[in-house]
Amino acid sequence: MTAVVVLGVGGVGAWIYNDLNDNINSAAVDDKLGGDRPVNLSPGSKNIMIVGSDSRDGANAKYGKDLTTMQSDTLMVLHIPADRQWASVVSFPRDSWVEIPSCEKGDGKSSAAHHFKLNEAFAIGGSNGKVAEAAACSIKTVEANTGLRIDHFMSVDFSGFKGMVDALDGIEVCPPQAIHDEKAHLDLPAGCQTVKGEKALGYVRARYSVGDGSDIGRIGRQQEFMDALAKKAKAKLTSPDAMYGFLQSITKSLTTDPDMAGIQPLYGLADQLKGIPSDRLSFLTVPNYGRVADQPTDKANVVWQYPQATDLFTSLAKDKEVTKPQLEAAKKNVVFASSVRVQVLNGTGVPGRAAAVAEKLKEAGYTVTGTGNAPATVAKSTVTYPAGLDTKAAVLASRLPNLAATADSSAAAGVITLVVGTDLKVEDVA
């Protein structure tokens, strides 16, 4: 949205240009990401991670003074293809149960790799209050779990969001039912109305008192609100006062990597995006289901749905367009990880490798029926399955790098077999 407005007011005076340019904060992250990163499989394409930060410093303290670190209330990846003919905005549920890699905590120490909800990555890195470490941990987590190379990042906090909405005189929303949410500081009647300031912020933050109370429902409302905000911003391009206020608000609350920290880079981004038709900008959400299906005691988090999630990430990595109807159709065939029964055989010759891989699969929700040694040492890992388990085998294979499942008529009924070869690292297992 910022880029679109920057493009529309490209002829503003030099003093305004310098004023806005100086507002944008820069945070270097490259030296915190390590060397084991995904390769960009489509030169010319870009992946930009966008984080909505709910840091509780200053004016934001009212939203949770008990929180001692930064939080990522919203996380998205904007994929811009090399041909600039389409674009996708992928939302990642903040309650996604994923593996968070080791990250710098900002106090000279590093966290241990572990499984937890996605938004903890921003909090771990941001334990010192600095956006660089927070963004770096989120980037490492997204890259590790998706295989996508993140090229840039942007972080916007609460106050900037409110300022953007206020500069445009509010945004119309039409909740079908009244919303009363104490945590979001929101009391909103049913029906169409224009919201701004605290009410606008409360509307996009509200969760537990709206719909099914899930973060997925909140993502849908956020996407609709952002779409309306972008359209109103474009419509207001002829109003200098509105645009100046809009840009002041967002640039003051915007932190980016050094290559994006300035009006000129944003102008360049807008110039690349301007030709994309609105019907080819897709707002997507990573396919997911409640983790309770795999772990009955966890009713709070979600896990990504496979192989659909892998297919989405692979398509974007290879610069292939994914539309919302395509993704929605694919999501209908849900296979819970707990329904996939797998035996793990060690084909590496390294003692304990099957047990280590099996433990990782259990953490991801799979049902491990047993472990053992393969008949011989093998270089290439394999996933084989008996008749009738092709779909479940595909789910397992999608969680392992460069593996495809193969039918085996001699395999035992009801069980998929994973033979761990020397090519499979334990840390590469889902």
- The larger pLDDT score, comparing residue 81 to residue 2, is at 81
Residue 355 pLDDT > 90: yes
As a three-state string, the secondary structure of the chain is CHHHHHHHCCCCCHHHHHHHHHHCEECCCHHHCCCCCCCCCCECEEEEEEEEECCCCHHHHHHCCCCCCCCEEEEEEEEECCCCCCEEEEECCCCEEEEECCCECCCCCECCCEEEECCHHHHHHHHHCCHHHHHHHHHHHHHHHHCCCCCEEEEEEHHHHHHHHHHCCCEEECCCCCEEECCCCEEECCCCEEECHHHHHHHHHCCCCCCCCCHHHHHHHHHHHHHHHHHHHHHCCCCHHHHHHHHHHHHHCEEECHHHCCHHHHHHHHHHHCCCCHHHEEEEECCEEEHHHCCCCCCCCEEECCCHHHHHHHHHHCCCCCCHHHHHHHHCCCCCHHHCEEEEEECCCCCCHHHHHHHHHHHCCCEEEEEEECCCCCCCCEEEECCCCHHHHHHHHHCCCCCCEEECCCCCCCCEEEEECCCCCHHHCC
Q: Quick one: pLDDT at residue 62?
A: 53
Range 154-168 average pLDDT: 83
- pLDDT, tens digit, for every residue of 265-309? 887 887 888 788 888 989 899 999 999 999 999 999 999 999 999
Is the pLDDT at 103 greater than 50? The verdict is yes
pLDDT, tens only, 249-269: 888 888 999 999 988 888 788
What would the mean pLDDT of 318-339 be, rounded to a whole number? 95
pLDDT value of residue 66: 46
Q: Is this structure's pTM higher than 0.75?
A: yes
Among 214-228, 300-314, 352-366, 375-389, which is the least confidently predicted range?
Answer: 214-228
pLDDT of residue 14: 61
